[in-house]
Chains A and B, each alone.
Chain A
């Protein structure tokens, strides 16, 4: 019943479609089912993304997520609430987060 955190905001590559070059941002929070993504690129609510990032030493590639909510802050950055869509990928995330628990405190 305790929270943990990485030592910095995790940079992430954002694929929005196969035709367009990927974008980038940082993960504000990360859990097995949800995440918060901060980026200066504008994306619509409901859009499905594929995120690639590293958690500890584990690389995660093309983790599928849908934008649940998008909010723009005063500086013009977008805060996206994401829901991960693939339960198998969520399970891998859960294992990686659980594995990084003691060393991250």
Chain B
């Protein structure tokens, strides 16, 4: 552990106290009487952290600014003369790692010192002579890297050539990467994206985008539809009912629901919402307020996307790597569990699901890229 620290302290009495404390902590403390002294020896000392006593000139705020100008990532810990949380918080907002309170004792400073000198980051180097000295080792590292890259490339080529490819025969790339809901209409597919706060309508034939509707007031967390209406669940927990007209006119909105719904569907009779983190499935009346009827616990392992049709509830489960089918009457019981080939990709995150005409449609992201695909409904 690199243990050189710099201490800025004008008072000789305080210096004496701090010298003893840091010696006991095993630190190699370089003392400076003021900021100018500190900056003068900063390059030579290369400290792992700076401790600066409060009450000196210039004020700690300016010292913080100047030290961070020279070394932006160095932990700076002001040593306060009294316990003043408001000032400590202000200094931390200004860039201090933490603040120590008075009286300065070994017990008080130990965690701060240890955390500060352990804090590591990307090493930055300006000294070119040091770089020259390391050229040989860098060349060696480069050779090892290329050897490894060649080996990994061969392995990847072999894997691609000889391993079974994840079957996604009906897959489409999306030009956005945060889909939250998918609806299958008669001749198009509608997908909501929370990041761009928009609804994207795709042609059913080639999946080209035919229309984009921006919803700047809503951050859609989930979406579902019936024959004549569309529901959008916002990140604030409010579910809006909208018409399926050109502008998706708003009809009604619920109060903020709890737990926060991030999946929703309408089975033709009842409305369903899910909170994926807790796995709570909520059955609701399909009125304007979507009044809660009953809560159920998701019977699988992890729910990442949810939908329903007139007969079943469906969920994508990344831990089971499967599509889970549940009964509308008893959602706490799994009817069937069917492995999903697409989960062969370990980076796939399915975030939206829809069921229509014997097909399940999925939307999500894989390695930072949005995608949608479908497969036949499992029996």
Contact = CB atoms under 8 A, between A and B. Distances in A.
A2 interface: yes
Contacts of B63: none
Contacts of B256: 91, 94
B110 A98 contact: no
A88 interface: no
Contact of B85 (A13, A40, A99, A102): A13
Contacts of B305: 1
B237 interface: yes
Interface string A60-88: 00000000000000111100000000000
Contacts of B351: 1-2
A80 to B, nearest CB: 14
Contacts of B262: 1
B115 A102 contact: no
A24 B111 CA distance: 14
A26 B111 CA distance: 15
How many chain B residues sit at the interface, stated as a range, is: 35 or more
Nearest to B178: A2
A26 B93 CA distance: 10
Contact of A1 (B99, B118, B180, B234): B180
Interface in A25-64: 26, 40, 52-54
B376 interface: no
Contact of B111 (A11, A40, A52): A40
B85 A77 contact: no
A74 B2 CA distance: 17
Contacts of A53: 89
Nearest to A14: B85
B1 to A, nearest CB: 11
B237 A24 contact: no
A99 B235 CA distance: 8
A13 B83 CA distance: 12
Contacts of A95: 236
Interface in B80-101: 83-86, 88-89, 92-93, 98-99
A21 B83 contact: yes
A23 B85 contact: yes
A34 to B, nearest CB: 11
B297 interface: no
A23 to B, nearest CB: 6
Nearest to A105: B195
B221 A77 contact: no
Contact of A24 (B85, B108, B221, B349): B85
A94 B259 CA distance: 11
B188 interface: no
Interface string B292-307: 0000000000001100
B260 interface: yes
Interface residues of A, number: 27
A14 B85 CA distance: 8
B276 interface: yes
A102 B114 CA distance: 36
Contacts of A13: 85-86, 88-89
B194 interface: yes
Interface in B120-170: none
Given A1-B262, A2-B178, A101-B235, A24 B195 contact: no
B195 A98 contact: no
Given A2-B178, A14-B85, A40-B98, A101 B219 contact: yes
B197 interface: yes
A102 B195 contact: yes
Given A13-B85, A22-B85, A1 B304 contact: yes
A75 B219 contact: no
Interface of A: 1-2, 11-14, 21-24, 26, 40, 52-54, 74-77, 91, 94-95, 98-99, 101-102, 105
Interface of B: 83-86, 88-89, 92-93, 98-99, 108, 110-112, 114-115, 118, 178, 180, 194-195, 197, 219, 221, 234-237, 256, 260, 262, 276, 304-305, 349, 351
6 contacts: A1-B349, A13-B88, A40-B111, A75-B118, A76-B111, A77-B111
Given A77-B115, A105-B195, 9 more contacts: A1-B262, A1-B351, A21-B83, A24-B92, A24-B99, A53-B89, A77-B111, A95-B236, A101-B235
